[in-house]
């Protein structure tokens, strides 16, 4: 089982995407959480913004991150010929 350059490229793309998505996850959770008092306490349709993010916004972003990752990777599998059921 020798890995080709294409295989390595697939893995690099995966790792890069993982890092980007984790950065978004980190920003939504910890950056907004950390500055909840100082910066993100403005009114957002009735909620203080940080409260809304904690109760809904962050959750929506998490679902989107996972959904996007699944879609992107499932396509990447096809593109690089590493999807299941291929030879």
Residue 23 lies near another protein (rule: CB under 8 A): no
Helix (H/G/I), strand (E/B), else coil: 47: strand
* Closest by Cα among 70, 28, 66 to 49: 28
CB of residue 68 to another protein, shortest distance in Å: 9
- Per CB under 8 A, which of residues 43..82 are in contact with another protein? 44-48, 50-52, 54-56, 58-60, 62-63, 65-67, 69-70, 73-74, 77, 82
Contact 76/7 with Cβ under 8 angstroms?
no
Q: Which residue has the tokens 């679902």?
A: 63
Contact 24/65 with Cβ under 8 angstroms?
yes
Q: CB within 8 A of 70, min separation 6: which ones?
A: none
Residue 13 lies near another protein (rule: CB under 8 A): no
By CB under 8 A, name the binding residues for another protein: 1, 3, 7, 10-11, 14-15, 18, 21-22, 25, 29-30, 33-34, 36-37, 41, 44-48, 50-52, 54-56, 58-60, 62-63, 65-67, 69-70, 73-74, 77, 82-87
């Amino acid at each position: 089982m020798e890995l080709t350059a294409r295989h390595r490229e697939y893995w690099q793309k995966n790792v890069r995407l993982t890092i980007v998505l984790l950065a978004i996850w980190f920003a939504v959770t910890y950056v907004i959480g950390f500055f909840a008092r100082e910066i993100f306490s403005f009114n957002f349709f009735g909620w203080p913004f940080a409260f809304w993010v904690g109760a809904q916004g962050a959750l929506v972003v998490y679902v989107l991150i996972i959904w996007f990752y699944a879609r992107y990777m499932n396509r990447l599998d096809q593109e690089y010929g590493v999807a299941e059921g291929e030879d």
